[in-house]
Amino acid sequence: MISLKIETEVLVIGGGYSGILLSNVLLDRGFDVLIADSSMESEMDVFSRLKVVKSYYDRFIEEYRETRAQLETRILKATITRTVRIGCEGQRENEGGNERAERWDVEGVHLGVNYKITAERVFTCTGCYDKRFFPCGIFGSRAAGIFSIQNALSLISRGYRIGRNVLLLGMSKVQERIFEIVEEMLGEFDYGCEFVVGNVAEVLGRERVEAVIVDGMKFPCDTLIYFCGREEFNPFKLGGCKVGNINARTYDYEKVRKDVLKLDLRHATLDSQ
Amino acid sequence: MFRAILVMGYAPAPKSAPKSALQSASQSIPHPTPQSAHTPTSLNGKSKAAEDVFDVTVIGAGVTGCFIAKELSKYDLKVLVVDKEPTVAMGPTKGCSGVIHAFQLPFGSLKGRLCLEGNRLMDEEAKELGFRFERVGLILVCKSIFSSLIARIVKPYFSRHLDVEYLDEKKIRELEPNVDAKGGLFFPSAGVVNPVEMTFKAKRFAELNGVEFRFERKVVGINPDQDFELILDAGKNRERVHSRFVINCAGLYADEIAAMVGCGLKIVPSKGSHVVFEDRGFSSHLMAIFPLIPERRTKGGGSLVTIDGNLIWGPNLVDAKSKEDRSVKKEEVEGIIRKHSRIFKRRPEKVASVYAGVRAIAGRDFVINSPIENFINVAGIQSPGLTAAPAIARMVLGMLTDAFEKSGLKLKRKREIKLGSSWKETRSKRGEVICHCRMVFEDGIRRTIAEGGRTLDDIKHLTGAGMECGRCLPAIVEIMEKNGLPLRKDTCKSFIAWKVGGD
């Protein structure tokens, strides 16, 4: 395998909405930024392929696309698999405040090339994923036709059909606008759709979902789309300062945006490892 | 090349075929004599194509059926495996816990003997077929001084049959710091495998050595004639195949198959649920509380580990509503967690997933017999069927050899046996990273498809991709489609979606 060594001042892991927005902020502050983007598709790409969803997220998609185009030269195609903090090298002056300096050794891989990256700062913007059905309180049969919103959107945006009559199940503690959006989007694609809020659900069906019992009420359907919140997507347990949807864990990108913009470098914690 | 060998099976020859005829069958050129028994006539008088005539037909492509096929593939036989599902291991095999048991009580029973033998054979099988197998060891944990005393008393009973060691409190603490115990029995020969991988590799080996697999074919009738005529329902049409021998490995449906030849057999489905935790490396041994709570049909489950290092608790034992009832109820999950939490000081945190399998139970023991000539039942293969599979395959081979000898024939081993590729090759690191959680590359998925992976579940179980957060599943679906596995509209098991315009 080929091995490449790269040095950068700041490494941003993740080239999705948060990573791109953050990189832009850092560049404006005069940092030398490298963005490591894996092969995984950004959520913005999925949204932009679905007309209805796109109309809701237009502002963010535009912002993401424009900024990404400007930063194209700074994007490195690589999946980061390991981050190791080597240590602090003392104090450094920055914009009048004292800022702690650190050093990171980072490993990545892409198409047979191993990358060894040294950076002074690492930001982790790997986003989040929808909780799987069990932690959501969905029991019963594991028949085909059970999707998280994330996978449903991704499959439909790739031109697949995931059923005919959808039960959209929201867990009562989660209140997000995404249900509305998904409901409207499903209508556009000619799905029958019913939206239910509940606490515990049991799926019935041998091979395909046939019905779902939500808090004692039975709803016949052939597809279940559920959502009960999202979780940090960080399978390699990367260190670095977590920014964006990895913190916000939501479909509400206004919150994600706020999380990125509130970042103050002086408070960017080092102990997130 | 091996295709040629396969066509040359001799068995449809009349029972009085001279030995020289079979020996010539192993030569490299087939000899299509016009009056050859390769073209028997069915009842309606139409002659059958040679490709529909087999020496042995195995019904069911679970772990037992695939291991029998693998063992038979080493001989000059024309073998067919049929299964109603689109891929291997879709029944009890997939739902099991992946444990290679050290022993099964009582030692004198058929399952007890086959379990010990299967366990002994497992290293050799893992090497030959290229599946991952690890002897992690089983600890029977004694929670009280009293049970540790019993453990010491019964130890000699176990050590007559297998390796066993008594662990005192300190030794257990060294092995498993999180376990609170007064003592325990340690069985080093217990291990773990990925049952789907194990079955898939056996199928791959059999296929490479000439066994034909036909999926999505449900056996709907068997006419015992000069040979057996099997009627297969292939969805749109019906196929008829002739076979001299039939081996019934139909798992949960073995009773239905046996009934087709007029043989009584009762299969009771019994469900076992498992709870999979996110914690990896929580414990590194198989564990259960000693004395094992005596239940008639199960050892009662335990705290297990998977070959990938995940913690998994179960299985329990619940009477299934039907043979396809793989649902997991909330109360079951709570029950399993309550039962096995006792072993540990600190409980694991997050439940990642739950799943259930259905055991095919036909009384207390395995049912391996030949109720009528040339028909072999391999039924009621409950726990420890996964462990016993290699031993069952050898036993069935022995029964077949005897049956052949009765007809004055002799099974002949193939000169050349092809080995499948090893797991390491399958885990190639080329292409883009598709699954980040298990670090699966696109090439690994493509290779699994090339080696015969057919459904999304195959890909998931064989590569590990999509098993954890599931975020990459749409990407896998797309790779499958690009590699000639179009998603279909029918909802069969893991076919989750279909292409718009494709219906």
Best of A128, A154, A200 to disrupt the B interface by mutation (most B CBs within 10 Å)? A154
A48-52, A141-145, A153-157, B72-76: segment of lowest average pLDDT: A141-145
Dist CA A49 CA A42 (whole Å): 12
Dist CA B332 CA B471 (whole Å): 27
Mean pLDDT on A175-204: 91
Mean pLDDT on B260-289: 90
Mean pLDDT on B105-130: 94
Q: Which residue among B355, B477, B495 sits closest to A155, beta carbon to beta carbon?
A: B477
Q: Is the pLDDT of residue B118 over 80?
A: yes
Smallest CA–CA distance, residue A79 to chain B, in Å, is 7
Dist CA B379 CA B258 (whole Å): 9
**Predicted local confidence at residue B44, as pLDDT:** 42
Dist CA B247 CA B353 (whole Å): 35
User: Tens of pLDDT along B219-236?
Assistant: 999 998 778 999 999 888
Percent of chain B at pLDDT above 70? 83
Contact check, Cβ <8 Å, A134/B351: yes
**Predicted local confidence at residue B501, as pLDDT:** 54
Dist CA B31 CA B224 (whole Å): 28
According to DSSP, residue B375 is labeled E
Q: Please tell me which residue of chain B has the smallest CA distance to A79.
A: B433
Q: Which of B181, B178, B183, B182 is nearest to B346 (CA)?
A: B178
**Predicted local confidence at residue A265, as pLDDT:** 61
B76: left (phi over 0), alpha (psi -120 to 50) or beta: beta
Q: Is the pLDDT of residue B178 over 80?
A: yes
Which residues are within 8 A (CB) of B355 and not within 5 positions of it... i.e. 6 or more apart?
A142, B95, B273, B274, B276, B326, B328
Q: Which of A157, A160, A141, A224 is nearest to B495 (CA)?
A: A160
- Cβ contacts below 8 Å, chain A against chain B, sum to 118
Chain A hits for B330, Cβ within 8 Å = 139, 200, 202
Q: Please tell me which residue of chain A has the smallest CA distance to B474.
A: A155
- Phi and psi at B426, nearest 5°, equal -65, -30
Q: Which of A58, A51, A56, A45 is nearest to A178 (CA)?
A: A56
A221 at B interface, C-beta within 8 A: no
User: Tens of pLDDT along B187-203?
Assistant: 999 999 999 999 999 99
**Predicted local confidence at residue B26, as pLDDT:** 39
Residue B293 corresponds to which tokens in the numbers above?
A: 């709570």
Contact check, Cβ <8 Å, A148/B324: no
Chain A hits for B437, Cβ within 8 Å = 235
In sign, the C-alpha dihedral spanning B360, B365, B366, B371 is negative
Mean residue pLDDT of chain A comes to 87
User: Tens of pLDDT along A23-67?
Assistant: 999 999 889 999 999 988 899 999 999 999 999 999 999 999 999
Q: Is the pLDDT of residue A226 over 90?
A: yes
A168: left (phi over 0), alpha (psi -120 to 50) or beta: beta
Contact check, Cβ <8 Å, B329/A159: no
| Angle of helix B456-463 versus helix B473-482 axis, rounded to 10 | 110
Other Cβ atoms less than 10 A from the Cβ of B268: the count is 17
Confidence of residue B25 (pLDDT cuts 50, 70, 90): very low
Mean pLDDT on B15-24: 39
Other Cβ atoms less than 10 A from the Cβ of B174: the count is 9
Mean pLDDT on B289-296: 70
Q: How many residues does chain B have?
A: 503
Q: Which of B201, B138, B235 is nearest to B489 (CA)?
A: B235
**Predicted local confidence at residue B396, as pLDDT:** 97
Dist CA A28 CA B94 (whole Å): 54
Q: Is the pLDDT of residue A269 over 70?
A: no
Q: Report the 3 state secondary structure along B407-429.
A: CCCCCCECCCCCCCCCHHHHCCC
**Predicted local confidence at residue B109, as pLDDT:** 94
Q: Is the pLDDT of residue A137 over 70?
A: yes
Dist CA B226 CA B276 (whole Å): 50
**Predicted local confidence at residue A97, as pLDDT:** 47
Contact check, Cβ <8 Å, B354/A134: yes
Q: Please tell me which residue of chain B has the smallest CA distance to A147.
A: B496
Q: Report the 3 state secondary structure along A149-191.
A: HHHHHHHHHCCEECCCEEEEEEECCCCCCHHHHHHHHHHHCCC
Chain A hits for B352, Cβ within 8 Å = 132, 134-135
User: Tens of pLDDT along B412-424?
Assistant: 888 888 876 554 4
Mean pLDDT on B248-259: 95
Confidence of residue B496 (pLDDT cuts 50, 70, 90): low
Q: Residue B226: enclosing H or E segment and its boundaries?
A: none
